[in-house]
Amino acid sequence: MKTLYNPKRGERIDITQEQLDEIRKCESRVTESAYYEHMVVWDTELTDEMQMLAITAKPKQWVVDKYAENIEVHMALLSTIYMDGLGGGGDEGTNMGYKRPFGNSDVIGDVMEEMRTLGRIANEIDEDGNQIDIIDEVPAEMMLEEFAGFIRDFFADGFEPTATGFIGIGNNYNYPMHEIDDNKWKAIGVEPKHSYLYCWEPDKSSLRDIKLNNLGI
């Protein structure tokens, strides 16, 4: 597994058709992490490839329709997800962040924050005139459980790549966001919310191949 937040300039990730097929066909299951319930594990070692697809690919329409009620929350969580490799010891595979799938070990808090950002948290005014959230962890737990189903469907032939080739542009991990040229991602319909995307750019030849494939050429 590469260090995705600090690639060497010119380093590549190329996702082949065979790898796409493996990801779509591999078995998945929901288990419990020490940090949260509903962690998804896939029986494939294509962790880097799944990571880049998670933060750049688009869901197919049937996935959007199935999760329409909460699709904006699921896409927001997906755009910030960190994938982990399970490692050796007879326990190979990929999982959605054992400790910090969305950037912090307060996993339910991360889900609540996305719900709050998207206006999915009701609020009321307290006796001092301050607006307060009226949400507990139960709705966020339910959202995370549904997200586990969403991401399983997403990788089980529920995604369309926007790019299958990625080129490292060096360590931009700590740069201020406004100094990063993110137009290369936005040009293909990807909002670069994930820190990794400021260290990589889409390979032009892979974009051409996807366009030709979509045209049946």
Q: What residue spans define the domains of the chain?
A: 15-161, 165-217
**pLDDT: which is higher, 4 or 19:** 19
Place of tokens 């709050």: 116
| Strands of the 39-42 sheet, one edge to the other | 28-31, 39-42, 94-96, 83-85
Mean pLDDT within 12-18: 96
Q: What is the pLDDT of residue 215?
A: 58
Mean pLDDT within 96-103: 95
What is the reported pTM? 0.86
Check if the beta carbon of residue 53 is closer than 8 Å to that of residue 16: no
The answer to whether residue 129 scores a pLDDT higher than 60 is yes
